[in-house]
Structure 1
Amino acid sequence: MSPPQSLLRVLQRQHAHIASLTSRVMESVGRERQGAVTDLLQYVALHESAEQTFMHPVAIRSVGDMSAVQGRVAEEREIEAVITHLEGLNPDSVDFMIYFGLLEEALSGHTRAEEEVEAPVLGAVVPDQEIEHMARGLELVDVWMDPATRSIDGSMARLPLLPGPAGQVGFGELQRRSLEAFDAVFRLR
């Protein structure tokens, strides 16, 4: 498989998982919904942090058409704003469902644009070795989210996987900490 295809496949697999987690939120109620929301926010925080660490810096350096990159970054900021508002709402409330609909729409548009705009642009201008590095970096999300493997090269991943209500780590803090962890891994490679 060519490096651009490997990157696209990782993105598609992770985006399909985000869609599945989103559906799980919509289909559940009560405590089950809260758990589904937590799972979704954990995955989105790690996925976006991995993109910010492994994809965006290369894209900004390499891509002549900055709108392909800047558009995705702006979409991520919109997603973060909706999630920040969503975190303070009761998962069974009407307000939650309205904001969750906005989140679902923003995630869907964002993931589609990454697959159809950003990934092809990167594949056309970024050296294969860097594309492979991006794909491997994004795959760390799945390693950290798998409770059976939560390790990288023998080191236990120590990420605060608890976004949610008061007393737990919020999405912004989870994303900040995961960015730090991905940055540390990036520097080791």
Structure 2
Amino acid sequence: MPTEDDVISLLEGQHTQIKDLLRQVEVAVGEAKQRPFEDLVRLLAVHESAEEQVVHPASRHADVAGEIIDDRLHEEDEAKHVLAELYELGVTDDRFASKFHAFSASVIEHAEMEEKEEFEPLRQSLSPRDRTRLATAVRVAEAVAPTRPHPHAGESATANFVFGPPLALFDRIRDAVRDWRTETDG
């Protein structure tokens, strides 16, 4: 029985959280979109970074077809660019809703393809012990991952190892300042 200690269950649980945040942003109005959008940005950034560093290389090692992994990496890179554009636009921009709607659909499709084409073969090829070890590796990667998309940093495991920690530190300081301002202004 899969648990949060199983990498596939962990990732599928995050996909559920991502889909929930996508819905929250879609239905919220005006400034009420801001908080779920920030939560979504943070979750997507750390999730995708960990997948690029840990999961996709493990999938290649487990003989998941290279073109499947390449397709997922390409989709993730495109999503980073769009997410960065949405972040720059801001939730109250007139263009945000339509751009976000298209982004949301592509993220959901990406997650479903990952679960079907990558996670299922990975589940079948790894022992429960290996899936637990991989879940630990994902959590470690997420702990040092950037909390915002950085599309120009690249989507490879190497790029994430080199650029991820300094970007993560910068992002986390920026998040702390933003959260402090929100608490003191509110």
Per the TM superposition, whether the score is higher than 0.5 is yes
The 8 Å contact of residues 8 and 131 in structure 2, kept in 1 or not, is answered as no
The 8 Å contact of residues 18 and 43 in structure 1, kept in 2 or not, is answered as yes
- Mark the CA change 1:39 to 1:64 in structure 2 (over 3 Å): closer, same or farther: closer
- Mark the CA change 1:14 to 1:64 in structure 2 (over 3 Å): closer, same or farther: closer
- The one-letter amino acid paired with 2:22 is T
Question: What is aligned with 2:124?
Answer: 124
5+ unaligned residues in a row in structure 1: which ranges?
145-156, 164-170, 182-189
- What does 1:1-189 correspond to in 2, within 5 Å? 1=1, 6-63=6-63, 65-139=65-139, 161=147, 163=148, 171-172=149-150, 179-180=164-165
The 8 Å contact of residues 54 and 134 in structure 1, kept in 2 or not, is answered as yes
- Mark the CA change 1:78 to 1:23 in structure 2 (over 3 Å): closer, same or farther: same
Alpha-carbon RMSD: 2.9
5+ unaligned residues in a row in structure 2: which ranges?
154-159, 167-186
Q: Within 2, Cα distance between the matches of 1:127 and 1:57?
A: 17
Higher helix share: 2
Render the CA deviation track for 1:102-123: whole Å, top value 9, x for unaligned: 2101110111011111011212
Query: How many residues end up aligned between the 2 structures?
Result: 157
Q: Within 1, Cα distance between the matches of 2:136 and 2:74?
A: 24
Report the alpha carbon displacement of residue 91 of structure 1 after superposing the two structures with TM.
1.2
The 8 Å contact of residues 145 and 165 in structure 2, kept in 1 or not, is answered as no
Q: Within 1, Cα distance between the matches of 2:66 and 2:118?
A: 10
Render the CA deviation track for 1:73-102: whole Å, top value 9, x for unaligned: 111111112112212213123311111012
The 8 Å contact of residues 10 and 135 in structure 2, kept in 1 or not, is answered as yes
Q: Within 2, Cα distance between the matches of 1:159 and 1:9?
A: 20
The 8 Å contact of residues 82 and 102 in structure 1, kept in 2 or not, is answered as no
